[in-house]
Amino acid sequence: MNIIVNGERQVVHASTLADLLSALEYEGDWLATAINGDLVHREDRADARLEDGDRIEILSPMQGG
């Protein structure tokens, strides 16, 4: 399926947000995620189904100042 992750079009085989994060090697409890502008909490990622054309935002904290 074709989705947009952090502004970049990607072809993925993940069916849930949790699967996508694993496939893209995102780890940790400090991630913020959204599908089509709607926040998805960590405990809901395994149930958050992805659809063709979805816009996914994945934010992780950056170190520095």
Q: Record the pTM.
A: 0.89
Length of the chain: 65
Q: pLDDT tens digits for 13-50? A: 999 999 999 999 988 778 999 999 999 999 999 999 99
* Amino acid at the residue 1: M
Q: What is the CA radius of gyration of the chain?
A: 11
Alpha carbon distance 49, 60 (integer Å): 21
Query: Which tokens hold the place of 13?
Result: 């085989």
User: Each residue of 2-22: b (16+ CB within 10 Å) or e?
Assistant: ebeeeeeeeebebebbbbbbe
Query: 59: pLDDT confidence band, cut at 50, 70 and 90?
Result: very high
**Domains in the chain with CATH codes:** 2-59 (3.10.20.30)
